[in-house]
Chains A and B, each alone.
Chain A
Amino acid sequence: MLLEVKNLSHNYDLESSVTDYSLQDINFMIERGQFVGLIGHTGSGKSTLVQTLNGLIKPTTGQIIIDDQDITKTKNLKEVRQKVGLVFQYPEHQLFEETVFADIAFGPKNLGLTEQEVEQRVKNALEVVNLDYETFKDRSPFKLSGGQQRRVAIAGVLAMEPEVLILDEPTAGLDPKTRQEIIAEIVNLQQKTSLTIILISHRMEEVARLADRILVLDEGKLVLDGTSAEVFQQQEFLQEIGLGVPQITEVLMKLKNKDNMIATDIFTIEEAKQEILKLMRG
Chain B
Amino acid sequence: MLDEIMIGQYIERDSVVHKSDPRTKILVVMFFITTVFLINTFSGYFILAGFIYLATMMAKINLKRIIKSIKPLTFIILFTLVIHLFMTRGGDVLWQWRFLRIEEEGLRLGLFMALRLIFLITFTSLLTLTTSPLELTDGLERLLNPFKRIGVPAHELAMMMTIALRFIPTLLEEAQKIMNAQKARGADFESGNLIKKAKSLIPLLVPLFINAFRRADDLALAMESRCYRGGENRTRMNVLMLATRDYLIMATSLIYLGLVAILL
A residues adjacent to B (C-beta < 8 A): 15-19, 51, 54, 56, 78, 81-82, 85-86, 88, 91, 93-97, 106-107, 110-111, 142, 156-157, 160
Report the tally of A-B residue pairs with Cβ distances under 8 A. Answer: 64
- Beyond A142-B210, A160-B185, is A96–B173 a contact (Cβ under 8 Å)? no
Interface bits B200-228 vs A (CB < 8 Å: 1, else 0): 00110011001100000000000000000
Least CB distance from A91 to B in Å reads 7
**Neighbouring A residues of B186 by C-beta, 8 Å:** 78, 81-82, 106-107, 110-111, 160
Q: For the A-B complex with A19-B177, A91-B181 known, give 20 more contacts whose Cβ atoms are closer than 8 Å.
A: A15-B3, A16-B3, A17-B3, A17-B173, A51-B180, A56-B184, A78-B188, A81-B184, A86-B181, A88-B180, A88-B181, A93-B177, A93-B210, A96-B202, A97-B206, A106-B182, A107-B185, A107-B186, A110-B185, A160-B185
A78 to B176, CA, bound (A): 18
- Beyond A93-B178, A95-B207, A106-B203, is A157–B173 a contact (Cβ under 8 Å)? no
Least CB distance from A182 to B in Å reads 18
Interface residue tally for chain B (C-beta within 8 Å): 21
**Neighbouring A residues of B203 by C-beta, 8 Å:** 94, 96, 106
A94 to B204, CA, bound (A): 8
**Neighbouring A residues of B202 by C-beta, 8 Å:** 96
Query: Nearest 5 CB-CB pairs, A to B?
Result: A110-B186, A96-B206, A107-B185, A94-B181, A86-B184
- Beyond A78-B186, A106-B203, A107-B186, is A94–B173 a contact (Cβ under 8 Å)? no
Least CB distance from B155 to A in Å reads 31
Least CB distance from A267 to B in Å reads 31
Contact call B184/A157, Cβ cutoff below 8 A: yes
* Residue among A18, A86, A94, A142 facing the most chain B CB atoms (10 A cut-off): A94
- Beyond A17-B176, A93-B178, is A85–B188 a contact (Cβ under 8 Å)? no
- Report which of B173, B182, B188, B207 forms a contact with A19, defined as CB distance below 8 A: B173
- Beyond A15-B3, A142-B210, is A106–B187 a contact (Cβ under 8 Å)? yes
Interface bits B163-198 vs A (CB < 8 Å: 1, else 0): 000000100010011101111111110000000000
**Neighbouring B residues of A142 by C-beta, 8 Å:** 210
A94 to B209, CA, bound (A): 11
Least CB distance from A240 to B in Å reads 30
- Beyond A19-B176, A81-B186, is A94–B3 a contact (Cβ under 8 Å)? no
**Neighbouring B residues of A96 by C-beta, 8 Å:** 202-203, 206-207
- Beyond A94-B207, A96-B202, is A81–B183 a contact (Cβ under 8 Å)? yes
Q: Which residue of A lies closest to B180 (CB)?
A: A56
**Neighbouring B residues of A82 by C-beta, 8 Å:** 186
Least CB distance from B58 to A in Å reads 30
Least CB distance from B81 to A in Å reads 34
Least CB distance from B263 to A in Å reads 47
- Report which of A19, A95, A110 forms a contact with B187, defined as CB distance below 8 A: A110
**Neighbouring B residues of A95 by C-beta, 8 Å:** 207
Contact call B182/A56, Cβ cutoff below 8 A: no
A111 to B203, CA, bound (A): 16
Least CB distance from A141 to B in Å reads 10
A60 to B183, CA, bound (A): 20
**Neighbouring A residues of B207 by C-beta, 8 Å:** 93-96
23 A–B contacts, CB within 8 A, in A order: A17-B3, A19-B173, A56-B183, A56-B184, A81-B185, A82-B186, A88-B177, A88-B180, A88-B181, A93-B178, A93-B210, A93-B211, A94-B182, A96-B207, A106-B182, A106-B186, A106-B187, A107-B185, A107-B186, A110-B185, A142-B210, A156-B185, A157-B184
A174 to B193, CA, bound (A): 41
**Neighbouring B residues of A19 by C-beta, 8 Å:** 173, 176-177
Least CB distance from B243 to A in Å reads 36
Least CB distance from A12 to B in Å reads 14
A160 to B3, CA, bound (A): 29
**Neighbouring A residues of B187 by C-beta, 8 Å:** 106, 110
